[in-house]
Amino acid sequence: MYVSHIECSKCSARYEPGKILQLCGQCQSPVWVRYDLNAVAKAVDREKIRGRAASLWRYRELLPVRDDANIVSLGEGMTPLVPLGRIGKSIGLPNLLLKDEGIIPTGSFKARGAAVGVSMAKELGVKTLCMPTAGNAGGAWSAYAASAGLNSVILMPADAQEINKKECAVAGAKLYFVNGILNDAGVIAGKAVRKHGWYDASTLKEPYRIEGKKTMGLEIAEQMHWRVPDVIVYPTGGGVGIIAIHKALLELRELGWIAEKMPRLVAVQSSACAPIPKAWQEGKLESEYWQNPKTTIPGLRVPKALGDFLVLRAIYDTKGCGVAVSDEEAYAAQRQLARAEGCFICPEGAAALAAAAQLAKSNWIQPHESVVLLNTAAGLKYPETVGFNAPVLEKTDEIPDCSGEDRP
Ligand SMILES: *Cc1c(COP(=O)(O)O)cnc(C)c1O
Ligand SMILES: [Zn+2]
C-alpha cells in the first residue's frame, strides 16, 4: 500500500517491492522495507489508529501487505504493558514496565514476525518456506504457515525444547533435528533452500519478519500515549527485535507522532554468549563470532548474528548499551518476578530484568527514568526452568496454619 521500495540496510541499494527478495544482491546484507511516510501521514493519524481493533494490524499503513485478502492472522498484537511497581521499587526503578509478549498466539513475540512474514510469503506466491530456529520462531512460523496453507520445513537443534518440537509437529511442519547449534541448522537450511528453490525464512534473510516485530515499538509508543520511555531493555539473539523497535521509532519520529528524543536501547545477552555487549564495549561496528556459546537460554544462543551491525547501530544511535548477565542471574530474576508480581516470564525476558537491575545499580539508569522490559515469551513454554517443593499428602492428613508466615 504505502511501500515505496526495498532498501539494503548496508549499501542502500534499491529494489522494487512486490517481488521475492532475500539478501541484498550487491553485498549480501539484510534488506528492509521503506515506506512513503508522507503518504502515510496523509492517510492516517494517531487518533484514527486509536479506534481500531487491538491487533498489530491496527498499524496497517506501516505494514507491507498490499492486499488485505493475504493477511494471515491468529489474533496477534496489542500485548499488555504491565507496571512492575513492587519489583521496580526493590531494584531502584519505580517506573518499570513489562511489555508481555507471552500473551500472544504461540506464546512468543515470534508470532509478530510470522504473521507479517507469512502474509507476505502468501502474497508473493510462496508455496514452501524453510527456516532454522532455536525453537520459538519455528513454532510461530509453522502455525502461521498452517493458517495460510503453506508448507513449512523447520530445522532446530536436537536439544531444543520439547514444546517447540511439538508445536511445529502439531501444525504439520516437516521437522528436522540437527546435531549442533542454530548456526549448524542454518547451513543445512541454506543448502536446501538453494537446491529446492524454497523461500528462506531465516532471521533477516527476508525483509518482512522485521516489519512484524516492528509493531512492538509502535505499540509501546501508543500505549505510553506517544511519549516514549527513557530506556527499552531487550533480550537479544538474532537481533531482529531490537533492530525492529529502532526502525519503528525512526518511522514514528519521521511521521511526527513521537518527539525527537529516542529511548536508549539496551541489548541484553548471556555472559556465556555475549558477542554484542563485547563489541559495544570495544566500540566496534560488528561483532566477532563467539566461540563455544554455552548459555542454556535458547533465544540468546546466537554466536554471531547476520544483523549484528544493525543491533550495534541501534545501540550507538540511541546512546544505549550492551549488557551481559549470567544465566544464573536470569533464572534468579525469573523466580523473583513471579513471586513479586505474578508474571511467569521466559528466561530471555528474565535476563532483561537482571540487566535492568544491574544498570540501575551502576546508575546507568536513573531512578526517575521510565524503563520498558520486553518479555519475549511465556514462562509456560519453559516448564523445566522452574521447580517446586510440595509435600504429598494422604487423604486423612491435615495441614498446619501458615497464614501468619511470610510469603516464600
Ligand atoms: C528469538 C527469541 C529471542 C531473540 O530475539 P531476536 O529478535 O532474534 O534478537 C529472545 N527471546 C525469545 C523467547 C526468543 O524466542
Ligand atoms: Zn547491499
Domains and CATH numbers, the chain: 81-107+210-384 (3.40.50.1100)
Average pLDDT of 119-124?
98
Q: Which residue has the cell 532475500?
A: 22
Of 155, 55, 53, 176, the closest CA to residue 105 belongs to: 55
* Residue range 362-389, pLDDT digits in tens: 999 999 999 999 999 999 999 999 999 9
pLDDT of residue 407: 74
Confidence grade of residue 126 (pLDDT, cut at 50, 70, 90): very high
Of 45, 29, 37, 30, the closest CA to residue 4 belongs to: 37
- Name the residue of 136, 210, 245, 344 whose CB sits within 8 Å of the most ligand 1 atoms, as the mutation to test its pocket: 136
Average pLDDT of 241-261?
98
pLDDT exceeds 80 at position 343: yes
pLDDT exceeds 90 at position 112: yes
Secondary structure of residue 107 in the 3-state scheme = helix
Q: Grid coordinates standing for 340?
A: 513479586
Q: Exposure string (b/e) for 50-73, b if CB count within 10 Å is 16 or more?
A: eeeeebbbbbbbbbbbeeeeebbb
Q: How far is the CA of 95 from the centre of ligand 2 (A)?
A: 40
Q: Grid coordinates standing for 91?
A: 531494584
Q: Does ligand 1 have an atom closer than 6 angstroms to the CB of 110?
A: yes
Confidence grade of residue 408 (pLDDT, cut at 50, 70, 90): low
pLDDT exceeds 90 at position 118: yes
> Nearest ligand to the C-alpha of residue 12?
2
pLDDT exceeds 90 at position 405: no
**DSSP per position, 37-102:** HHHHHHH--HHHHHTS-SSGGGGGGGS--S-GGG---SS-----EEE-HHHHHHTT-TTEEEEETT
Q: Does ligand 1 have an atom closer than 6 angstroms to the CB of 346?
A: yes
Confidence grade of residue 140 (pLDDT, cut at 50, 70, 90): very high
Q: Does ligand 1 have an atom closer than 6 angstroms to the CB of 235?
A: yes
Average pLDDT of 132-149?
97
Length of the chain equals 408
Q: How far is the CA of 293 from the centre of ligand 1 (A)?
A: 16
Confidence grade of residue 296 (pLDDT, cut at 50, 70, 90): very high
Whole-number Å distance between alpha carbons of 26 and 131: 23
- Name the residue of 154, 287, 297, 348 whose CB sits within 8 Å of the most ligand 1 atoms, as the mutation to test its pocket: 348
Whole-number Å distance between alpha carbons of 60 and 49: 9
pLDDT of residue 370: 98
Q: Does ligand 1 have an atom closer than 6 angstroms to the CB of 189?
A: no
* Residue range 175-185, pLDDT digits in tens: 999 999 898 99
**Biggest CA pair distance of the chain:** 75
Q: How far is the CA of 15 from the centre of ligand 2 (A)?
A: 10
Which is the closest atom of ligand 1 to the Cα of 239? 9
Counting Cβ atoms within 10 Å, is residue 279 exposed (0-12), middle (13-18) or buried (19+)? buried
Across the chain, what does the average pLDDT equal? 97
> Nearest ligand to the C-alpha of residue 347?
1
pLDDT exceeds 90 at position 406: no
Share of the chain above pLDDT 70, in %: 100
In angstroms and rounded to an integer, the radius of gyration of the C-alpha atoms of the chain is: 21
